[in-house]
Structure 1
Amino acid sequence: MGQERGDRMTTRRQGVRTRLTPDQRRAAIIQAAVRVFEGRDPAAVTFEEIAVEAGVSRALVYNYFGDRGGLMAAVYEQLLVELDEELSVALVGPLPPRERVRDAVERYVAFARAHARGWQTLAMLAATRHPAVQRARRERYERLAVVWGSSAEARVVVTGLMGLLEAVTLDWLAEPAVELARLVDLADDLAWSGVEHLVDEGIVAPGSGAEPAAPTDAAQPAAAVSPALGGL
């Protein structure tokens, strides 16, 4: 009943009352959560704050996401849809493996830089121990591992590469000790040195699998989620 009432809520835009669908309402709540999470520990944010920001009832937020972890998992997935699409495009392209990895690193760093204000939020969400968030994180790695061949080894490689790039970009955004081009070169060298012999031996192969599908609940790419994730 609460969700039905919430779904009947409307938004006034330029004098026209627009009825929001359940998917639109869900996306609006995620947008509100991104704004509230920015610069804060997501685990310390209350549903009341998000409900107020979204202009809905606290009960409606619960109806859509179940608990705080469910909401954090939805935000985590939503923010990374565009990044994962970028990585997949790079890794399944026509270039040799060495150049594909370079392209993926460049896209990763560019995405982190363009979404600098929200990148710390993503890192905190990824570190959250709530089962729903960790499940979303595992499922993300499984989707990306498809591009590397879907093997158990591919899953390990993806986990290592994502951890490396996340740590490098977070540190650089907090304190850019080197020029951007140098950061990309260093991250690329680290990434390729870690997978080169695995590629040479045929243990993993970037682009050898099918392009992974987006998360089922992902309604829109990260760039459209919120102005709060603006560039530098």
Structure 2
Amino acid sequence: MTSITSEDLERAEAADGRSTRWEAHREQRRAELSRAARKAVHRRGPDLSMDEMAAAMGTSKSIVYRYFTDKSGLQAAVGQDVLDEIADALEEASRAEGPAQQRMRAMVEVYVSTLTHSPNVYRFVTAQPNGATMSTFLDTVARAVSAPLAELLGEADPEGHLSRLWADGMVGFVRGAGESWLDLEPSQRLGATEMVDLLAGWLWRGASATSRIRSTGEKS
């Protein structure tokens, strides 16, 4: 049996160190390219070809493919960054001080602000072919939204099932209404603040009705 010398261990450690540094460099470069892609989409629109995307990012298509394989991979990376930011902001709003109604409105405002700040990036992210990142995001958002709802429903929903059910519905409703609003010509849209107030009002009245029905048996 061949013994392992101290020189062998040093060479192995050096190789491991190089591998670790390479992985760190690769992740840093991926993050830089993802940010560049996001800026390109923000400026130029969500339908850029990979040639146009690479040019707007200040690099070549071969470099982009080296780090992301294809456009779907780049789209997923940008999507993860953007959706993580939104999810964090929604989670912060859901846990903020103040009444449940105020926190619900703050969460709607986070979403509407995302649409108005960069509709191109939003469309790019939500058009992901496999949908895995978006699905995870929607689940995360529903969990955040369920927090103030659970507080509102209280004893009417002791196990939290209704608050999560209503949260899932709210997420779908706000997303659908928000995207329909975004698709309108700017001259035909409600103002962003009015849109937030309208959506939050609809959601709050629905949540209040849920609590009332459970506690009193009222049907309408």
Normalising by structure 1, we get a TM-score of 0.61
In 2: Cα distance, 1:144 partner to 1:201 partner = 25
Paired residues, number: 177
- In structure 1, the residue matched to 2:109 is 106
Q: Could you give the per-residue CA deviations for residues 52-103 of structure 1, whole angstroms, max 9, x where no partner exists? A: 4444443332232222111112112222332222211111223232221112
In 2: Cα distance, 1:23 partner to 1:196 partner = 46
The aligned amino acid for 1:49 is E
Offset at 1:172? 6.8
Radius of gyration: which is bigger?
2
CA contact 1:29–1:61 (8 Å) conserved in 2: yes
- In structure 1, the residue matched to 2:12 is none
Superposition pairs of residues 119-138 of structure 1, within 5 angstroms? 119-128=119-128, 130-131=129-130, 134-138=131-135
In 2: Cα distance, 1:85 partner to 1:136 partner = 15
- Residues 179 and 59 from structure 1, CA distance in 2 versus in 1: closer, same or farther, beyond 3 angstroms? closer
SS of structure 1 residue aligned to 2:98: coil
Within the candidate set 83, 86, 105, 2:86 is matched to 83
- In structure 1, the residue matched to 2:11 is none
In 2: Cα distance, 1:83 partner to 1:163 partner = 17
Within the candidate set 166, 171, 178, 1:165 is matched to 178
Range moving further from structure 2, 97-106 or 148-157: 148-157
In 2: Cα distance, 1:126 partner to 1:88 partner = 20
In 2: Cα distance, 1:185 partner to 1:31 partner = 32
- In structure 2, the residue matched to 1:189 is 201
In 2: Cα distance, 1:33 partner to 1:185 partner = 33
The aligned amino acid for 1:175 is S
Q: Could you give the per-residue CA deviations for residues 26-56 of structure 1, whole angstroms, max 9, x where no partner exists? A: 12211232233344343x511x333344444
- In structure 2, the residue matched to 1:13 is none
In 2: Cα distance, 1:26 partner to 1:157 partner = 34
- Corresponding position: 1:40 with 2:53: no
| CA RMSD across the alignment | 3.3
The aligned amino acid for 1:141 is L
Q: Could you give the per-residue CA deviations for residues 138-182 of structure 1, whole angstroms, max 9, x where no partner exists? A: 0101112222269662434323333333433x2578336444432
The aligned amino acid for 2:199 is A
Superposition pairs of residues 6-45 of structure 1, within 5 angstroms? 21-38=25-42, 39-42=44-47, 44-45=48-49
Structure (1 or 2) with the greater helix fraction: 2
- Residues 26 and 190 from structure 1, CA distance in 2 versus in 1: closer, same or farther, beyond 3 angstroms? same
In 2: Cα distance, 1:173 partner to 1:59 partner = 37
SS of structure 2 residue aligned to 1:21: helix
- In structure 2, the residue matched to 1:174 is 186
CA contact 1:105–1:188 (8 Å) conserved in 2: yes
CA contact 1:86–1:107 (8 Å) conserved in 2: yes
Q: Which has the higher contact order (CA 8 A, sep 6+)?
A: 1
Superposition pairs of residues 141-152 of structure 1, within 5 angstroms? 141-147=138-144, 148=146
- In structure 2, the residue matched to 1:72 is 75
- In structure 2, the residue matched to 1:12 is none
- Residues 171 and 49 from structure 1, CA distance in 2 versus in 1: closer, same or farther, beyond 3 angstroms? closer
